[in-house]
Chain A
Amino acid sequence: GAGVSQSPRYKVAKRGQDVALRCDPISGHVSLFWYQQALGQGPEFLTYFQNEAQLDKSGLPSDRFFAERPEGSVSTLKIQRTQQEDSAVYLCASSPRPGQTWSQPQHFGDGTRLSIL
């Protein structure tokens, strides 16, 4: 079956532009996560959805970052007024059950590499 799909794979934007990154999780997966991975570092948690509800956004670095999952499937991460420090790989992951109630593996997409010029 299809895995987690992210688009675009690469995005170049000028400082100050808005960008939108898309994630298609595995069909039927309840939990969806966004992570930010800087070069040479491990992923850092941004936000968590259980179906359409955003239950945790404690990792979002500023109010320029906004995520949604309106129908409980596809999710979009939006970054407004991009800054150079936003350059990173943005990874999406999904898992079948609610994250709070069961420790479970996460299934990752290949990420979107964002470069801010």
Chain B
Amino acid sequence: SQQGEEDPQALSIQEGENATMNCSYKTSINNLQWYRQNSGRGLVHLILIRSNEREKHSGRLRVTLDTSKKSSSLLITASRAADTASYFCATDALGGGADGLTFGKGTHLIIQP
């Protein structure tokens, strides 16, 4: 079963604008990760934020985490056509158990040139 829910399911913006995607999850976590998937390809890791962190930056990416609300956001600034992809949040459960990540359904981002 999917733990997370990304919002919105689809987003279309103009090149140069900022894109914000949100993720909600259900159980306590060790960390939260964001991945990108281009059509027909595997997932590429973007950024990992630990449960004791509130914000993290990597290049044009900014991720926030609010464990009290069980939510995270991914901001892509100054978007480019190459950012067109699906974006997934993924969590691993606090306390172990299954070792795999639990993914949301994803946000499909389209950058219009």
Task: Output the residue of B4, B30, B45, B99 with the most chain A CB within 10 A.
Answer: B99
B102 and A45: CB pair below 8 A? yes
On whether A99 and B99 interact (CB within 8 A), knowing A41-B2, A42-B88, A42-B104, the answer reads yes
Say which residue of B42, B48, B99, B103 sits within 8 Å of A42 (CB atoms). B103
Q: Is B60 an interface residue when CB atoms closer than 8 A count as contact?
A: no
**Interface flags, A2-42, vs B, CB<8A=1, else 0:** 00100000000000000000000000000101010000111
A105 and B45: CB pair below 8 A? yes
B98 and A106: CB pair below 8 A? no
By the criterion of a CB under 8 Å from any partner CB, how many residues of chain A are at the interface?
Answer: 30
CB distance from A66 to the nearest CB of B (A): 17
**Interface flags, B1-40, vs A, CB<8A=1, else 0:** 1101000000000000000000000000011010100001
A106 and B99: CB pair below 8 A? no
- Docked pose: A43 CA to B33 CA in angstroms: 14
CB distance from A90 to the nearest CB of B (A): 11
A108 and B92: CB pair below 8 A? no
- Docked pose: A41 CA to B2 CA in angstroms: 9
Q: Is B50 an interface residue when CB atoms closer than 8 A count as contact?
A: yes
Task: Output the residue of A45, A46, A59 with the most chain B CB within 10 A.
Answer: A45
B104 and A106: CB pair below 8 A? no
Q: Is B43 an interface residue when CB atoms closer than 8 A count as contact?
A: yes
CB distance from B23 to the nearest CB of A (A): 11
CB distance from A22 to the nearest CB of B (A): 15
**Sample of 15 more A-B contacts, CB < 8 Å, known A105-B48, A110-B40, A110-B41:** A33-B100, A41-B2, A41-B106, A42-B106, A45-B100, A45-B102, A48-B100, A99-B100, A100-B96, A103-B31, A103-B92, A105-B45, A106-B101, A108-B42, A108-B43
A-B contact pairs, 5 of them (CB 8 A): A4-B42, A40-B105, A41-B105, A44-B2, A93-B42
